[in-house]
């Protein structure tokens, strides 16, 4: 047996230990390679899909790279710590520090090489799938051709070889510096009983509370700068760590004095002694979980909110604005025919007249605001149409109160956010080049009646009484009078494809259903996010896995001793179930709290109505499902690995 | 010819003048080629510290240590590792075999580290394992065999490269009495063949009775020496007698590690 053989055997026979590490590395190599393959795909580079999608791919790739550095170091260090005894024995037997360093280096090269190879292979396999799904999601006219450009190979390899080489070198020199005595004796040294500080426990809770407070109550102010965001993150991470190291240990020590019976004593004391060792891993898992859940919930939630808002932002399938100076190529009758021909199913067509005006703002906000002036009856016609077509929407539209001559109502069309400025406020209105007319604005409505964005005049609407409107219209210059036409259609997707580029978007709003238009924007991000989430999920699992391996030798001795003193398998099972639940679900619980705070914060920033929580709950449930799978696997394989009833094994 | 010569070994832990711990207070020790020496002492007497220093795992604060003609404290880094590899064999209380290697591979470890040719390694390993009755278990892993077999494997690993000195730290501490007896007989045989010099730290009078000579340590100093003259049984009685005197003089020499 030669030294090289020894190294090879060591890696191959420690495959259980290396498996998690290599799997995590492979997935990160795969993810980066995948993103690079898409970003540098010649078809994508030459504008096959929106350039924003390409930027998202590149950014996601770099996030993966950055994150990989962090967890590759963390996992490899954890793995080597587990093998302290082995390295100690080797040194006692006369392995020189140089040889030991070289051994670790060789092992890393072997493991990292396998990870790189597997990752590239997996990346290649998934690239095709990725491109297919992406093309489908973004409703691209044809398939994106498969490519694995040299540039993405090069970038992926260079990035990971750099990470791996640096990591292997660092680990090797770290092991080289440690003496055999620490390595062997280290595991024998007794753990000190935990001494939690009540002050630090409270500080932990305080930090968490402060982080949550800044996120929830002072959301906009805090998030105005990047520093605010970083402060919140730092507060929450520090708070989480203190809650684990101090608060939880304090609670366990308190329970230890109370609980006197059965296996509970064992559970509580074991947890109390180990919590300090667990704390770092638990903090990492909580943070990662919170990041994954928040990111998924906010992305998917935004999509769902936008979908919910679709009918609100675009009440009409098609809407046109025309006047003498801005005629359309198609007359309203022709538009109806085209829609019918496309099978859109026109259910209603409305026509109204509007004036282009400018309203003097109340003195607080100086200047004038351009407004679309309509008569009360026209406004009511449009509202009635919306009410009769959107069952759930209709109820929220307020009735327009009867307007006396010289009085008006101001409409800030959703999603414009304007504080209510008018409470029976006297002001003036000018239509076109005509004189200013005095009038009183009674109040404000925050609903939308005309389609978003394309309103030729302004998204702010002023409702005046019918007689007043006729007077204003009579005085108005011709090019300030607009005809507005709205069509309701039963099939919006078909309605959106009825006209090519015949109609200018400045005057015409043809609504594309959110499924198509928004998905195009978000699908790339969501899909890339899914891969990153998967990677982080794997990293979480790995962190717990190393934590468990760390205790295995100690558990073996303890459980064997307990078996001898007459503990049953069921009781040992209970000990493990409780301990594993703490490891798996406690960080999840804290992560849920973090996520809730983050989503509330997000809700404030988003400023668009719609429900975020169902999606958030769904994301949490899916994540919880993954945690349960991890838990079940770990809980049922662990006792087997301990080999409690094989008395031969002593270590 | 002396294999090991120690003069006035001192070990002080700690750096603050008020909180210094004197683990060794000037130990003199000489071991001749082929001797089998046991070191006994109560817990905290400095046995383990002494063994760590003799093995080059720890540096003495003062005194001289020469093993097989080499001044150990002058060595460091790679030279120290090479010294351990060629001159020393080590048997631990908890065996410390590597779980990832078979018994034969564990035994081959010191030779593999020294880059001996594969054929020679195989011959030496097979020879030494046959001698210890382990030929059947060569391909098995440590966790598949009994504690006694593991410890015999550890002894095989400690002598396969024919070191100048074998250091054993409570080698019977984790064994049942039958396995302990087999192991001690292995030591006795090695000793009788005259080739191996053994230094064993133990608290067990039975284990100590297999040796030629016992050095009793207390408070980091050599307290008493005992040399075997007659049969093992007679030597055992003498050890018990010495221990009872030590106990009367207020020294607790009960087992330190279970």
Q: Is A97 on the interface with B (CB under 8 A)?
A: yes
Among partner residues B88, B97, B113, which is closest to A95 by beta-carbon distance? B113
Q: What is the mean pLDDT of residues B50-63?
A: 87
Higher pLDDT, B181 or B77: B181
Residues in chain A: 651
Q: Are the beta carbons of B50 and B26 closer than 8 angstroms?
A: no
Measure in Å the smallest separation between the Cα of B135 and chain A Cα atoms.
Answer: 17
For residues A225 and A178, membership in a common domain is answered with no
Cα dist from A630 to A46, A544, A585, whole Å = 43, 9, 11
Establish if A641 touches chain B: CB-CB under 8 angstroms.
no
Average pLDDT for residues A98-115, to the nearest whole number? Answer: 86
Examine the pLDDT at A158 and tell me if it is beyond 80.
yes
A306 plus A159 within the same structural domain: no
Domain boundary among A189, A210, A240: A189
Q: What CA–CA distance (Å, rounded) separates B27 from A468?
A: 115
Distance CA A610, CA A307 (A): 9
Q: Rounded to whole angstroms, what are the CA distances from A20 to A11, A27, A419, A438?
A: 13, 11, 55, 76
CB nearest to B96's CB, from A3, A13, A85:
A85
Packed helices A97-137 and A84-92: angle between N→C axes, nearest 10 degrees: 150
Residue B235's pLDDT band (boundaries 50, 70, 90)?
Answer: very high
What residues of B are in contact with residue A180 (Cβ under 8 Å)? 57
- CA A389, A391, A397, A403 dihedral sign is positive
Picking from A1, A13, A179, the nearest residue to B100 by CB comes out as: A13
Residues 6+ apart with CB under 8 A from A369: A358, A359, A361, A458, A460
Identify which of A48-52, A112-116, A134-138, A253-257 has the greatest average pLDDT. Answer: A112-116
From A271-285, A499-513, A535-549, the region with the lowest mean pLDDT: A499-513
Cα B90 off chain centre by: 6
Same domain, A34 and A52: yes
Q: Closest approach of chain A CAs to the CA of B75, in angstroms?
A: 12
Please tell me the predicted confidence (pLDDT) of residue A646.
59
Rounded Cα distance, A616 and A592, in Å: 10
Q: Which of the listed residues A163, A189, A215 is the one where a domain comes to its end?
A: A189
Q: What is the pLDDT of residue A223?
A: 66
Residue A606 scores a pLDDT above 80:
no
For range B104-112, the mean pLDDT? 86
CA A126 from chain centre, in angstroms, equals 22
In the structure, what pLDDT confidence band is assigned to residue A160 with cuts at 50, 70 and 90? very high
For chain A, what is the domain count?
3
Which domain, by its residues, includes A142? 1-189
Report how far residue A211's alpha carbon sits from residue B8's, in angstroms, rounded to the nearest whole number. Answer: 62
Q: For chain B, which residues make up each domain, given as ranges?
A: 2-99+144-248
Q: Between chains, do B95 and A98 touch, taking CB under 8 Å as contact?
A: no
Query: How far, in Å, CA of A461 to CA of A315, rounded?
Result: 15
CB A389 within 8 A of CB A333: no
What is chain B's mean pLDDT, rounded? 86
Asked whether the beta carbons of A627 and A588 are under 8 A apart, the reply is: yes
Average pLDDT over residues A181-191: 53
Name chain A contacts of B48, Cβ cutoff 8 Å.
Answer: none
pLDDT for the residue A522 = 67
Is A86 close to B98, i.e. CB distance below 8 A?
yes
d(CA A348, CA B127): 100
Closest CA in chain B for residue A87: B98
Measured CA to CA, the distance from residue B43 to residue B172 in angstroms comes to 17
For residues A288 and A407, membership in a common domain is answered with no
Q: Across residues A346-368, what is the average pLDDT? A: 82
Q: How far apart are CA A598 and CA A600, in angstroms?
A: 5
Asked whether residue A301 falls in the same domain as residue A357, the answer is no
3-state helix, strand, coil in chain B (%, to 5): 40, 25, 35
Cis peptide before B138 (omega within 30 of 0): no
* Per-residue pLDDT band at A366 (split at 50, 70, 90): low
pLDDT score for A311: 67
User: Cβ–Cβ of B112/A2 closer than 8 Å?
Assistant: yes
Interval A493-503: pLDDT, tens: 777 777 766 67
Query: Has residue A284 got a pLDDT over 60?
Result: yes
CATH class of B2-99+144-248: alpha beta
What does the alpha-carbon distance between residue A88 and residue A94 come to, in Å, rounded to a whole number? 10
DSSP-derived letter for residue B210 is T
Residue A418 has pLDDT above 70, yes or no: no
| Min Cα separation A26/chain B (Å) | 24
Residue A227 CA to residue A233 CA, distance in Å, equals 10
Sign of CA dihedral A556, A558, A564, A570: negative
Partner B contacted by A98 (CB < 8 A): yes
Name the domain boundary from A189, A213, A246: A189
Contacts of A14 in chain B (CB under 8 A): 100
Q: Does residue B191 surpass a pLDDT of 80?
A: yes
Q: Does A189 touch chain B (CB under 8 A)?
A: no
**In the prediction, which pLDDT does B29 show?**
92
B184: pLDDT strictly greater than 80: yes
Mean pLDDT score across all residues of chain A: 80
Query: Do A46 and A159 belong together in one domain?
Result: yes
Q: Is the pLDDT at B59 greater than 80, yes or no? A: yes
Q: What is the pLDDT of residue A154?
A: 93
Question: Quick one: average pLDDT of A71-91?
Answer: 82
B229-254 average pLDDT score: 78
Mutation target vs B (from A3, A94, A642, A647; most B CBs, 10 A cutoff): A94
**Cα-based torsion angle of the residue sequence A59, A63, A64, A69 in order, rounded to the nearest 10 degrees:** 140
**Cα–Cα distance between A532 and A13 in angstroms, integer?**
30
Partner A contacted by B147 (CB < 8 A) = yes
Domain shared by A392 and A429, yes or no: yes
Tell me which of A46-50, A427-431, A601-605 is least confident.
A46-50
Radius of gyration of chain A (CA): 33
The answer to whether residue B185 scores a pLDDT higher than 60 is yes
- Residue B146 in contact with partner chain A when CB distance is under 8 A: yes
Residue-wise burial string across B242-253, b where 16 or more C-beta atoms lie within 10 A, e elsewhere: bbeebeeeebeb
ipTM over 0.95: no
Q: What is the pLDDT of residue A425?
A: 83
Terminal Cα-to-Cα distance of chain A (whole angstroms):
24
The answer to whether the CB of A448 falls within 8 A of the CB of A375 is no
pLDDT at B256: 47
Strands B213-218, B36-40: pairing kind:
parallel
Q: Are residues A269 and A238 located together in one domain of the fold?
A: yes
Contacts of B134 (CB under 8 A, 6+ apart): B103, B149, B152, B153, B156
Give the residue-averaged pLDDT of B2-28: 86
Phi first, then psi, for residue B101 (nearest 5°) are -115, 150
Cα(B175)–Cα(A274) distance, rounded to whole angstroms? Answer: 30
CB B85 within 8 A of CB B114: yes
Residues near A83 by beta carbon (within 8 Å), at least 6 away in sequence: A14, A17
For the stretch A582-586, contacts whose Cβ atoms lie closer than 8 Å and that sit 24 or more positions apart, written own/partner, are A582/A271, A583/A278, A583/A282, A583/A544, A583/A547, A583/A548, A584/A544, A584/A627, A584/A630, A584/A631, A584/A634, A585/A627, A585/A631, A586/A248, A586/A282
Residue A482: count of CB within 10 angstroms of its CB: 24
What b-and-e string marks burial along B107-120, b requiring 16 or more CB atoms within 10 Å of the CB?
bbbbbbbeebeeee
Say how far apart CA A322 and CA A152 lie, in whole Å: 51
Judge whether B50 and B202 are in contact, CB under 8 Å.
no
Instruction: Identify whether residues A327 and A308 lie together within a single domain.
Output: no
Residue A182 shares a structural domain with residue A51: yes
- At how many degrees (to 10) do helices A150-177 and A15-39 cross? 150
Most confident of A485-489, A561-565, B153-157: B153-157
d(CA A247, CA B239): 54
| DSSP symbol at A323 | B
pLDDT of A312 strictly over 50: yes
Contacts of A245 (CB under 8 A, 6+ apart): A196, A200, A204, A275, A276, A279
Band the pLDDT of A272: cuts 50, 70, 90: confident
Instruction: Output the pLDDT for position B249.
Output: 62
Computed from CA positions of residues A485, A488, A492, A498, in that sequence, does the dihedral angle turn out positive or negative? Answer: negative
For the stretch A153-157, contacts whose Cβ atoms lie closer than 8 Å and that sit 24 or more positions apart, written own/partner, are: A153/A33, A153/A120, A155/A32, A155/A36, A155/A40, A156/A29, A156/A32, A156/A33, A156/A36, A156/A119, A156/A120, A156/A123, A157/A116, A157/A120
Nearest to B110 among A94, A643, A651 (CB): A94
- Helix H or strand E encompassing B200: strand B198-201
Question: Quick check: is A506 in a domain?
Answer: no
Domain contains A505: no
Q: Are residue A175 and residue A28 in the same domain, yes or no?
A: yes
pLDDT given at position A453: 59
pLDDT at A613: 86
SS (H, E, C) A231-279: HHHHHHHHHHHHHHHHHHHHHHHHHHHHCCCHHHHHHHHHHHHHHHHHH
Domain check: are A210 and A142 in the same one? no
CA closest to A181 among chain B residues: B57
Residues of chain A with pLDDT > 70: what percent? Answer: 83
- Provide, as residue numbers in chain B, all residues whose Cβ is less than 8 Å from the Cβ of A646: 143
Q: Is A16 on the interface with B (CB under 8 A)?
A: no
Candidates A524, A531, A526, A522; CA nearest to A63 is A531
Instruction: Determine which helix (DSSP H) or strand (DSSP E) holds A105, and give its type and residue range.
Output: helix A97-137
What is the pLDDT at residue A502?
66
Phi, psi dihedral angles at A457 (to 5 degrees): -95, -70
């Amino acid at each position: 047996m030669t030294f090289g053989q020894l190294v090879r055997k060591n890696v191959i026979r420690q495959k259980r230990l290396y498996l998690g590490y290599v799997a995590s590395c492979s997935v990160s190599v795969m993810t980066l390679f995948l993103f690079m393959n898409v970003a540098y795909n010649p078809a994508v580079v030459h504008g096959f899909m929106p350039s924003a999608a390409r930027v998202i791919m590149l950014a996601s790739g770099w996030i993966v790279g950055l994150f990989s550095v962090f967890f590759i170091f963390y996992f490899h260090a954890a793995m080597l710590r587990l093998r302290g005894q082995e390295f100690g024995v080797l040194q006692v037997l006369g392995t020189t520090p140089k040889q030991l360093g070289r051994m670790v280096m060789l092992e890393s090269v072997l493991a990292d090489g396998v990870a790189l190879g597997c990752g590239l292979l997996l990346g290649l396999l998934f690239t095709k799938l990725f491109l297919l799904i992406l093309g489908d999601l973004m409703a691209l006219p044809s398939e994106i051709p498969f490519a694995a450009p040299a540039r993405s190979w090069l970038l992926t390899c260079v990035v990971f070889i750099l990470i791996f080489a640096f990591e292997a070198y660092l680990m090797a020199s770290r092991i080289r510096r440690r003496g055999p005595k620490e390595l062997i004796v280290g595991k024998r040294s007794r753990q000190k009983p935990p001494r939690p500080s009540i002050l630090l426990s409270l500080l932990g809770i305080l930090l968490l509370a402060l982080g949550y407070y800044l996120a929830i109550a002072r959301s906009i102010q805090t998030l105005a700068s990047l520093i605010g965001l970083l402060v919140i993150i730092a507060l929450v991470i520090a708070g989480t760590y203190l809650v684990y190291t101090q608060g939880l240990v304090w609670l366990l020590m308190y329970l230890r004095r109370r609980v006197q019976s059965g296996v509970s004593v064992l559970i509580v004391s074991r947890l109390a002694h180990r919590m300090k060792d667990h704390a770092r891993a638990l903090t990492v898992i909580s943070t990662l979980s919170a990041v994954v859940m928040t990111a998924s919930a906010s992305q998917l939630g935004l999509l769902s909110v936008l979908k919910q808002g679709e009918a609100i932002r675009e009440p009409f399938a098609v809407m046109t604005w025309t006047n003498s100076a801005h005629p359309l190529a198609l007359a309203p009758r022709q538009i109806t025919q085209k829609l019918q021909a496309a099978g859109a199913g026109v259910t209603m067509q409305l026509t109204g007249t509007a004036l282009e005006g400018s309203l003097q703002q109340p003195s607080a906000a100086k200047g004038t605001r351009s407004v679309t002036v309509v008569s009360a009856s026209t406004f009511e016609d449009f509202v009635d149409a919306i009410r009769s077509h959107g069952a759930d929407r209709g109820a929220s539209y307020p009735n327009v109160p009867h307007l006396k001559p010289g009085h008006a109502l101001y409409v800030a069309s959703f999603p414009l956010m304007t504080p209510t400025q008018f409470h029976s406020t006297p002001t003036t209105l000018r239509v076109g080049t005509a004189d200013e007319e005095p009038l009183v604005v009674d109040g404000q409505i925050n609903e939308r009646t005309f389609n978003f964005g394309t309103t030729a005049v302004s998204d702010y609407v002023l409702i005046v009484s019918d007689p007043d409107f006729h007077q204003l219209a009579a005085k108005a210059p011709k090019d300030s009078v607009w005809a507005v036409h709205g069509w309701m259609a039963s099939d919006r997707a078909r309605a959106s494809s009825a006209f090519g580029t015949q109609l200018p978007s400045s005057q015409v709003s043809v609504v594309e259903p959110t499924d198509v238009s928004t998905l195009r924007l978000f699908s790339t991000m969501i899909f890339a996010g899914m891969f990153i989430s998967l990677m982080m999920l794997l990293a979480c699992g790995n962190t717990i896995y190393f934590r468990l391996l760390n205790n295995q030798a100690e558990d073996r001795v303890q459980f064997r001793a307990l078996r001898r003193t007459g503990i049953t398998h069921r009781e040992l099972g209970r000990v493990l179930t409780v301990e594993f639940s703490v490891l798996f679900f406690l960080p999840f619980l804290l992560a849920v709290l973090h996520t809730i705070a983050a989503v509330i914060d997000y809700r404030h920033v988003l400023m668009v109505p719609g429900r975020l929580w169902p999606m958030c709950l769904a994301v949490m449930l899916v994540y919880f499902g993954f945690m349960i799978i991890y838990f079940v696997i770990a809980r049922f394989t662990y006792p087997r690995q301990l080999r409690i009833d094989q008395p031969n094994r002593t270590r | 010819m002396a294999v090991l010569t120690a003069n006035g070994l001192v070990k002080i832990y700690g750096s603050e003048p008020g909180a210094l711990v004197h683990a060794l207070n000037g130990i003199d020790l000489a071991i001749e080629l082929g001797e089998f020496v046991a070191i006994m002492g109560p817990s905290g007497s400095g046995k383990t510290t002494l063994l760590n220093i003799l093995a080059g795992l720890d540096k003495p604060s003062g005194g001289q240590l020469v093993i097989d003609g080499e001044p150990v404290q002058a060595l460091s880094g790679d030279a120290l590792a090479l010294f351990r590899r060629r001159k020393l064999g080590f048997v631990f209380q908890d065996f410390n075999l590597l779980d990832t290697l078979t018994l034969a591979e564990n035994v081959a470890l010191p030779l593999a580290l020294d880059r001996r040719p594969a054929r020679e390694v195989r011959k030496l390993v097979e020879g030494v394992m046959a001698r210890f009755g382990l030929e059947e278990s060569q391909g098995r892993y440590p966790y598949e065999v009994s504690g006694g077999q593991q410890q015999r494997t550890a002894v095989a690993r400690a002598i396969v490269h024919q070191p100048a000195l074998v250091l054993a730290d409570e080698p019977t501490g984790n064994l049942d009495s039958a396995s302990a007896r087999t192991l001690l007989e292995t030591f006795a045989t090695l000793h009788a063949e005259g080739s191996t010099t053994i230094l064993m730290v133990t608290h067990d009078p039975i284990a100590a009775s297999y040796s030629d000579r016992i050095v009793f340590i207390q408070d980091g100093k050599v307290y008493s020496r005992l040399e075997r003259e007659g049969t093992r049984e007679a030597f055992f009685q003498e050890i018990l007698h010495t221990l009872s005197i030590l106990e009367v003089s207020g020294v607790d020499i009960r087992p330190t590690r279970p």
